[in-house]
A = this chain, B = another copy of it.
Amino acid sequence: MNTHADPYIESDFTDRQGAVLEAALGLLVEGGEKAITTAGIARAANCSKESLYKWFGDRDGILAAMITYQASKVRVSARLGGPSQSAEAFRAELEVFANDLLTVLSGETSLALNRLAIGQGSREGSVLGNLLIERGRKTVRERAMVLLQSGQLAGVLRFDDRAAAFDTLYSLVVGDFHVRMLLGETVPALRDELARKEHVEQAINRFHLFYSKDHMN
């Protein structure tokens, strides 16, 4: 679900290490956390357990590396089109963002990693949870913030608290779909394309109802 915007945080993983983490992610997606055994990863990735411990320290290190690796892989296309846009163009951009967000969140790998972090937490200060929030959610947030900013500059939106506006947008788009998917439910509104399109449109409509200049209450 993630990228990292921090320029000085880079995925210092070699190709081999990346391949190993890829295999580990495959195991995770298929079998959940219990499937992530050091022996299992070594077998799936054709590497030695000794290398695993040399590269990642211990099992928890492997889990953390899986998150940062996936985050570095799913880089978000910034795609910010300057501040001069029509209301329609901006609305379309918002819809694209909402769709991307739902696509990422409903992805198998994202769900598996979130389940992993949630399952581990909050034991040990929820290291994985923090990692996931830091590397995943914050980049989505930043992309959205840029988007909202440009909407404001274009005169389409109006708000005092941009962060609050983002929270609203996120709530309207995602709702409790995320938790339900994490619990194993197949959310109907996300399965077929039509229902999903309708949902996104309604969410964006309502967002505009709150924050567009025409609809201020």
Contacts and interface: CB of A to CB of B under 8 A. Distances in A.
Interface of A: 31-34, 111, 114-123, 125-126, 129-130, 132-133, 167, 170-172, 174-176, 178-180, 182-185, 206, 209-210, 217
* Interface-central residue, A133, A167, A170, A176, by most chain B CB under 10 Å: A176
A31 B174 CA distance: 30
Nearest to A164: B202
Contact of A210 (B117, B170, B206): B206
A17 to B, nearest CB: 25
A183 B119 contact: no
Contacts of A125: 184
A118 B182 CA distance: 6
A175 B32 CA distance: 26
Given A34-B123, A170-B175, 16 more contacts: A114-B118, A114-B179, A115-B118, A115-B119, A117-B183, A121-B183, A126-B183, A129-B184, A130-B184, A130-B185, A132-B183, A133-B180, A171-B174, A171-B175, A179-B179, A179-B182
